């Protein structure tokens, strides 16, 4: 995932503004420090100027929500300096426990002005909440004129919901396989169809 994200950031034209929002259970603006409490029941995000944002877990990896005021994601100019700094953050940011798709999407939709495009990447599934989350935010994106492009990294279980999240907003879905190769949704569908045709069926005697 780090390589894919670094590649996306490095390709940003200097005329654009961007922001990176990281997530696991909690979600945070890239560059913030996340402190997970023992037992993974709560976390604190330390942002710029000493601001702290608390998160609580209702049990399990997929039940995180903000506890109080939410962090605000601000736009960054895509200058050489900022892109270099972002690359360093991508390479060094430690992993955090949990997977909740809703939290980073909420931070993205709280930005002012709204993003024209959201690139949503994950290497994990958010359990049985995945499709409901995809339907909710694809509709929100469509209504607000935001395109969501999704990339599922070596996680086929997330593919159906990620495809829904992208295509429902007018975006595109891709799957990155274990070799690091990007597979477009249409190519993935062709591959599945071909695999299905190749199955042998037997008749009961």
Residue ranges per domain, the chain? 2-27+76-197
CA distance 163 to 64: 23
Question: How far apart are the C-alpha atoms of 161 and 135, rounded to whole Å?
Answer: 8
Q: 189 pLDDT band (50/70/90 cuts)?
A: low
Judge whether 8 and 153 are in contact, CB under 8 Å.
no
* pLDDT, tens digit, 9 for 90 and up, residues 138-153: 999 999 999 999 999 8
User: What is the pLDDT averaged over residues 3-11?
Assistant: 90
- Cβ-contact 26, 45 below 8 angstroms: yes
Total-model pTM? 0.87
What is the overall mean pLDDT for the chain? 90
In tens, the pLDDT along 56-96 reads 999 989 999 999 999 999 999 999 999 999 999 999 999 99
pLDDT at 191: 58
pLDDT of residue 47: 96
Structure tokens at 52: 């702290």
Query: Are the C-beta atoms of 37 and 57 separated by less than 8 Å?
Result: no
Task: Give the integer Cα–Cα distance in Å for 126 and 102.
Answer: 9
Predicted pLDDT at 184: 66
- The fold adopted by the segment(s) 2-27+76-197 is Rossmann fold (3.40.50)
Of 130, 119, 127, 182, which Cα lies nearest the Cα of 154? 182
pLDDT digits (tens, 9 = 90+) for 15-57: 999 999 999 999 999 999 999 998 999 999 999 989 999 999 9
What is residue 181's predicted lDDT score, i.e. its pLDDT?
A: 77
**Residue 186 Ramachandran class (φ > 0 left, ψ -120 to 50 alpha, else beta):** alpha
pLDDT attached to residue 91: 94
Query: So what's the pLDDT on residue 73?
Result: 98
Per-residue pLDDT reduced to its tens digit, 118-139: 999 998 777 788 999 999 999 9
What local confidence, expressed as pLDDT, does residue 188 receive?
A: 62
pLDDT of residue 155: 72
- Which residues does residue 56 pair with via DSSP β-bridges, in sequence order? 42, 65
Report the pLDDT value the prediction gives residue 194, as an integer from 0 to 100: 62
């Amino acid at each position: 995932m780090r390589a894919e994200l670094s590649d996306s950031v490095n390709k940003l034209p200097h005329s654009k503004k961007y922001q990176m929002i990281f997530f696991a259970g909690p979600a945070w603006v890239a560059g913030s420090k996340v402190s997970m409490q023992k037992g993974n029941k709560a976390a604190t995000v330390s942002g710029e100027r000493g601001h702290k944002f608390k998160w609580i877990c209702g049990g399990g990896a997929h039940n995180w929500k903000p506890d109080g005021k939410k962090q605000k994601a601000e736009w960054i100019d895509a200058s050489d300096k900022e892109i270099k700094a972002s690359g360093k953050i991508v390479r060094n940011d430690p992993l955090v426990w949990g997977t909740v798709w809703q939290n980073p999407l909420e931070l993205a939709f709280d930005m002012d002005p709204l993003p024209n495009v959201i690139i949503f990447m994950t290497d994990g599934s958010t359990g049985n909440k995945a499709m409901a989350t995809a339907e909710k935010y694809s509709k929100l994106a469509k209504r607000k004129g935001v395109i969501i492009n999704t990339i599922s990294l070596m996680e086929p279980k997330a593919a159906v919901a990620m495809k829904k999240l992208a295509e429902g907003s007018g975006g595109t879905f891709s799957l990155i396989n274990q070799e690091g190769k990007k597979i477009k949704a249409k190519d993935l569908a062709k591959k599945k169809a071909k695999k299905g045709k190749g199955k042998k069926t037997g008749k009961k005697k």
